[in-house]
Amino acid sequence: MRYLNFKLILGLCSLLLSISIRAQDSTSVEVNSTRFHELSFDGFEALVTPSIEFNYEYLLDKEQSIGTYMYKNLNNEINNNYQEEFSLGLFYRNYLYSHQPTMSHTGIFIEAFSQFSLGERFRFINLTESEKIGNWSNFGLGLMTGYKWLTQYNILIQINIGGGLFTFNTKKTPDSFFRGGLLLGYRF
């Protein structure tokens, strides 16, 4: 009889433990199952410099995403020896902490990215004149950090800053690059 009571108590404890574990899982942050895509535009860069940047992000799970971005420089003014004209990149992002615990993919994030860039090389003759001496292209790897806010209407605001190093042909291309901005977008 004691052996049967022990089995019954052990079985009930196991059942209660599994129910409580399941209850904890269901109260965690839930990903909206119909919205996995984000499209954003760097509004700050468009206002400060005549250039555009578009980002696409695909949400993998509660804390991770992958995406791509495209940058196009529309500035005709030459302000340095290496003028970047176009960039295309891929990124992996991990979200670390959020002040919006009921929304996934918001808050502080870190990102690792790769970037392929094209540009032109210039030589300055004097302070106001320069001449084009060639084109350049290179592939780079970098890291970035930032913060993302999301409204209840799925409008997002994101601020980020980072940079990286180019990997090939550094005598004819810049050694490093900067990436950052203030992005506005929509989750769909």
With bands split at pLDDT 50, 70 and 90, how would you rate the model's confidence at 67? very high
* Predicted TM-score (pTM) of this structure: 0.78
Name the residue ranges covered by the structural domains of the chain: 35-187
Mean pLDDT estimate for the chain: 85
With bands split at pLDDT 50, 70 and 90, how would you rate the model's confidence at 6? low
> 35-187 has which fold?
Porin (2.40.160)
Report how far residue 140's alpha carbon sits from residue 123's, in angstroms, rounded to the nearest whole number.
Answer: 23
Q: Is the pLDDT of residue 153 over 60?
A: yes
Query: How many CB atoms sit inside 10 A of residue 157's CB?
Result: 15
Q: Is the torsion defined by CA of 46, 115, 36, 64 positive or negative? A: negative
**Average pLDDT value for residue range 136-145:** 97
Residue 20: half-sphere exposure toward Cβ, Cα within 13 Å: 6
